[in-house]
Each structure stands twice: as C-alpha cells, then as structure tokens.
Structure 1
Amino acid sequence: MSRKTSKNNDLLSSVRKDTSPKIYSLLVDLVNDNREDLADLVLKIDYLLEYSSSCIRQKDFEEARESLSKAENRIKMLEMQKVDTEYIRYLYDGINNKCK
C-alpha cells in the first residue's frame, strides 16, 4: 500500500499550505494510520490555537481563555488515543502563558 501524501489525499492537499511543517507531519502520520478522524481533531486544535493567539493580540482575553479551554479538551482526547501531542502541547503552553 502506498503512503498517502498531499498528492493523493484530499485532506492533506487542502491543509498543506496552511499548517506548520510539524503539524503537517503529524497529519500525514495520522492519515497513513487510517485515523483521519484524529487528523480532523488536530486541525480543529490548530485552528483554536491560532484563534486564541489572535484574540490575545486583540486583547480579548476572555475569548482566548474560552478557546484555549476547548483546545485543552481536544488535546486530552488525542492523548487518550496515544497520539504524539508534544508539539501541540508546546504551542498550547506558549499561548496559554500569554493569556492574562
């Protein structure tokens, strides 16, 4: 069976330009393990982290805390499925420290 890449998978091709290389690598691993449901969850977490960061830049700390809480819950779901969340956790911690 061939390895799925952005050339032969719709999910990967749609997010290749928008995600960081480490997130994309995690997505490729999940898609190749036939866990596209978890790959979708990673994309949602990535979006929530970007949104939280944007809220912090705009000084909307309440909205940032709310979206960080949602991201935390989804990260815990990934950890229960034994997904490597080291980089996602690193991003989360960095954004959470900026939130007052």
Structure 2
Amino acid sequence: MAKKNSINNDFLKSVRNDLSPKVYDLVLKLVNENREDMAKIVLKVDYLLEYTSNCIKARDYDEARETLDGARKRIDMLKNEGEDVSYLEYLYEGINKKCK
C-alpha cells in the first residue's frame, strides 16, 4: 500500500498549509501508521499553542494559563503513546516562559 500524503489523503490536504513543517511531519507519520486519532490530537495541541500565543499578545494571561494546561495534558497523552513530541514541547516551553 502506498504511503499517504497530501495528494492522496483529504485530511492531510486540509491541514498541510496550516502547520509548520515539523508538526506536519509528525501528523504525516501518524496518519501513515493509521493513527489519525493521535494526529487530530497533534492538531489540537498546535491550535492551543497558537491560541495561547495570541492570548499572551492580548495580555489575557488567565486564559493563556488555562489553555496551556489543556495543551500540556494532550502533549502528555501523546508522550504516553510513545510519540516523539519534542518539537511540541519546545513550543510549549517557549510560550510558557512568556506567560506571566
């Protein structure tokens, strides 16, 4: 069976332009392992981190902390499944430092 990519998979096609290359590589790996459920969690973490960054820019630190907690729980869930989430953790730590 051929590997899935953004040309032959609608899910990957819909998310390709919205993700950074490293996050897209993780999603692509998960989809090719038939783990679309985990790929959707990666998308959620990416969205939550982006939303947290926007909250910090708007100086809404309470909402940012709450959203970071949700992202942390999902990152831990992915980590418990044995996925390489080092880049998501790197993003998380960078955003967490900005949150007062």
TM-score range, shorter chain: over 0.9
What residue ranges of structure 1 are gaps of 5+ in the alignment? none
- Which TM-score applies when normalising by structure 1? 0.99
Alignment of 1:1-100 (within 5 A): 1-100=1-100
**2 CA distance for matches of 1:50 and 1:4?**
26
User: Root-mean-square deviation (CA), in Å?
Assistant: 0.4
1:26-79: per-residue Cα shift (whole Å, max 9, x none)?
Answer: 000000000000000000000000000000000000000000000000001000
What residue ranges of structure 2 are gaps of 5+ in the alignment? none
- Which TM-score applies when normalising by structure 2? 0.99
> Where in structure 1 do 4 or more consecutive aligned residues deviate above 3 Å?
none
**1 CA distance for matches of 2:62 and 2:11?**
32
**2 CA distance for matches of 1:11 and 1:62?**
33
Identity of aligned residues (%): 58
